[in-house]
Amino acid sequence: MADSVTDRVTVAVIGAGEMGSAVGRRLREMGARVITELTGRSEQSVSRIADAGLEVVDDDQLLMDDANFILSIVPPGVAYSVAKRFRGPLRRTKRKPMFVECNAIAPQTVRHIETMLSETGCGFIDAGIIGGPPPIGSLVKGPRFYASGPHAQLFASLAQYGLDIVVLEAPIGAASALKLAYAGLTKGFTAIGAAMIGAAAREHLADVLRAELARTQPDMLVRLERFVPAMFPKAYRWVAEMEQIADFASEESKGAAIYQGAARLYERIAAEFESDQLSEQLAALTSFFKQHK
């Protein structure tokens, strides 16, 4: 899949946010050409892209025309609309790159995107990212990409450019299912922790709860200390992800309800975090962790 002239692979990153720009940086550091474009991007995103050293092209068509692989790394709530936006450019390009859907979306959503893009003639790969953005420095391990579908082995070729890729011998949807099962456990636990700490605080029992966790569940307390405060600025992104997990769990109606509830919790926390005034909920959570540091 490398360029026939230079033998250097070109990877287009759609949605070069915190994760996308870090993945792009890792690929670039390891020798790949990495391109993106700036349509609709915030000043913060533009700065992040520049810091990562990604090459900026002028429009969607050029992005598709130059790429061997396209990595869609966007908030789950816009994954479908972003793929739809690139359907025309993908149809028109002669190169026919591999479209790698890397977002935290339900298997059925991935299959809808695959069907929508099938008319373009481009290959489609389902990928799920587990772990945080790759840190700066190519010797430091980054997140793991699980990939599935008939073209997944082609995506595995990017391992030589610093990505940790595991191919599942499974159809489209499997990688996304694994990602959501993992996120349902990890981010679901964070939601439960935030909800119960908030409830205990309303009854003036936060200190007692903390002491009991320290006595009987110290590992759980350490995990709560690590992940609940770190969730506040990310909560807005987790709303759609919880909704996708609810869709994934929809055959178990009670399971789906758990994650719809988590979505509403993260929605409220996100709104409160953006507010100028510290809400009672966030104040309770902040106090629970801060006073014991």
Q: What is the Cα–Cα distance from 147 to 166, expressed in whole angstroms?
A: 6
Pick the CATH number of 177-290 from 1.10.3470, 1.10.1420, 1.10.1040, 3.40.50: 1.10.1040
CA neighbor of 88 nearest in space, from 122, 112, 55: 122
Q: In what order do the strands lie in the sheet with 123-130?
A: 55-56, 33-36, 10-14, 69-72, 98-101, 123-130, 144-148, 164-167
Is the entire prediction scored with pTM above 0.85? yes
Domain ranges of the chain: 10-170, 177-290
Q: What is the pLDDT of the chain when averaged over all its residues?
A: 93
Query: Which of 32-36, 83-87, 207-211, 284-288 is least confident?
Result: 284-288
Q: What is the rounded distance in angstroms from the CA atom of residue 75 to the CA atom of residue 147? A: 19
Alpha carbon of residue 282 to chain centroid: 24
276's CB contacts (< 8 A; 6+ apart) are none
Q: Is the pLDDT of residue 4 over 50?
A: no
Quote the CA–CA distance of 12 and 32 in Å, as a whole number.
Answer: 10
Which residue bears the tokens 């002669």? 94
Q: Is the pLDDT assigned to residue 6 strictly greater than 60?
A: no
The yes-or-no verdict on residue 7 having pLDDT over 80 is no
Measured from the Cβ of residue 199, the count of other Cβ atoms closer than 10 Å reads 14
Residue 275 pLDDT? 86
pLDDT score, position 5: 42
* DSSP 8-state symbol, 232: G
Give the C-alpha separation, 185 to 253, whole Å: 17
Share of the chain above pLDDT 70, in %: 96
With contact defined as beta carbons under 8 Å apart, do 277 and 196 qualify?
Answer: no
Q: What is the pLDDT of residues 241-292, one digit of tens each?
A: 999 999 999 876 678 999 999 999 999 999 999 987 778 888 899 899 886 6
Mean of pLDDT values over 56-62: 94
Q: Tell me what pLDDT residue 3 has.
A: 54
Per-residue pLDDT at 279: 80
d(CA 272, CA 181): 27
Q: Which two tokens stand for residue 132?
A: 């945080």
Write the pLDDT tens digit of every residue in 24-57.
999 999 999 999 998 777 788 788 999 999 999 9
Radius of gyration in angstroms for the set of CA atoms belonging to the chain, rounded to a whole number: 20
CB-based contact 88:122 (threshold 8 Å): no
For residue range 67-76, what is the model confidence (pLDDT) as tens digits? 999 999 999 9
Fold category of 10-170 in CATH: Rossmann fold (3.40.50)
* CB neighbour list of residue 63: distance below 8 Å, 6 or more residues apart: 12, 14, 35, 36, 37, 57, 70, 89
